[in-house]
Amino acid sequence: MLDYKLLAALNAVIEHGGFERGAASLGLSQSAVSQRIKLLESRLGTPVLVRMSPPQATAAGQRLLNHVQQVRLLERDLRTDLPAMDSRSSMSRLRVALNADSLATWWAQAISGWCSAEQVLLDMQVEDQDVGLRRMRNGEVAACVCATEQPVAGARSLLLGHMPYLAVASREFIARHFPDGVSIAQLPQVPAIVFGPDDQLQHRFLRQLGVAGEFEYHLCPSSEGFVRLLTAGIGWGMVPALQVATELRSGVLCELVPGQAQQVALYWHYWRNGGQLLEGLTRELAARVPRLLG
């Protein structure tokens, strides 16, 4: 069998973002951890991490981390069957990538009861969907929430539901730019807010209304920052209806063109051989998320 002490050293350095903290988490000296990783590399004949700050796993290192996480999930199943096996911490770790808007809206309510009941600690990573799926393929995360249906090799995908996005702006913004009512044709001349270079929601919304071409925009890669900028009247943008329900009710934010919601599908991608823990989380999400998405 593999020498798991070496793999655990690699895992700790990457998980804690450095040799010093990784070593501390294992109760080892930094030089002991460093030696284990060198030994691992000499056995493999290839580097497992790039010595930068924070250290990055190489392709070979990622493959090993993938393996470590799968083994841990299987060990957890084992401990459930043979509770006497391990008297140490009974908390399991699960690494999951998800889109920022899910984390900012329904995610916490969907998983909190399950995490407490199952004693699971989550490593959540915010990634746009291409990166999230690549991380699944590399084995850096065991599961991923994104808008793409096609699973990567070794994984399954499950439709959780659709998240409606609305085009909104502050009442004050609309009054300032459109004193005579919102003019679709003029919309590209007022500033929008866009989440990042890959966020095409605003473009799709304008195309759906028959407006083509470029428009001016702020870039804000933060879900809460996005809503704060909308509320402060700096631009218009597409946000999950879930996230601005209060602001719409109070009239702080208004829909630009009612009845033009964009539906974004959400899929749960998970390793096929992720053990009972991942299967349990999948069942929990399948049961809870459709209701949370309304």
Query: Considering only residues 104-163, where is the footprint of a copy of itself by CB under 8 A?
Result: 104-105, 107-109, 111-112, 115-116, 121-126, 130
DSSP secondary structure, 74-130, as one string: HHHHHHHH-GGG--S---EEEEEEE-HHHHTTTHHHHHHHHHHHHTEEEEEEE--HH
Does residue 222 touch a copy of itself according to CB under 8 A?
yes
Smallest distance from the beta carbon of 282 to a copy of itself, in angstroms? 18
* Site map (CB under 8 A) of a copy of itself, residues 71-90, x = contact: ------------------x-
Provide, rounded to whole angstroms, the least separation between the CB of residue 262 and a copy of itself: 19
Nearer to a copy of itself, 125 or 262 (CB): 125
What span, in angstroms and rounded, lies between the C-alpha atoms of 10 and 23?
10
Instruction: Tell me the CA end-to-end span of the chain in Å, nearest whole number.
Output: 49
Residue 41 or 118: the one with the smaller Cβ distance to a copy of itself is: 118
CB 36 within 8 A of CB 9: yes
198 lies in the binding site for a copy of itself (CB under 8 A) = yes
Q: How many CB atoms lie within 10 A of CB 170?
A: 21
| Cβ pair 171, 181 in contact under 8 A | no
- Quick one: which H or E segment has residue 136? helix 129-137
Nearer to a copy of itself, 86 or 130 (CB): 130
Cα 84 versus chain centre, distance: 35
Is 223 near a copy of itself (CB under 8 A)? Answer: yes
CB of 222 to a copy of itself, least distance (A): 5
Alpha-carbon gap, residue 16 to 24, rounded angstroms: 9
Q: Cβ 100 to a copy of itself, closest distance in Å?
A: 6
Q: In angstroms, rounded to a whole number, what is the distance separating the alpha carbons of residues 218 and 267?
A: 28
Single out the residue of 233, 237, 240, 275 in contact with a copy of itself (rule: CB under 8 A): 233
Q: Which is nearer to a copy of itself, 40 or 230 (CB)?
A: 230
Shortest reach from residue 45's CB to a copy of itself, in Å:
26
Q: What part of residues 6-35 is at the interface with a copy of itself (CB under 8 A)?
A: 15-18, 21, 24-25
Cα(71)–Cα(118) distance, rounded to whole angstroms? 18
The single residue among 5, 43, 51, 228 that binds a copy of itself, judged by CB under 8 A, is: 228
C-alpha of 20 from chain center: 27
Return the number of the residue (26 or 39) whose C-beta is nearest a copy of itself.
26
How distant, in Å, are the alpha carbons of 60, 100, 129, 288 from that of 132?
19, 11, 5, 22
Binding site for a copy of itself (CB under 8 A): 15-18, 21, 24-25, 53-54, 89, 91, 100, 103-105, 107-109, 111-112, 115-116, 121-126, 130, 176, 191, 196-198, 214, 216-225, 228-229, 231-234
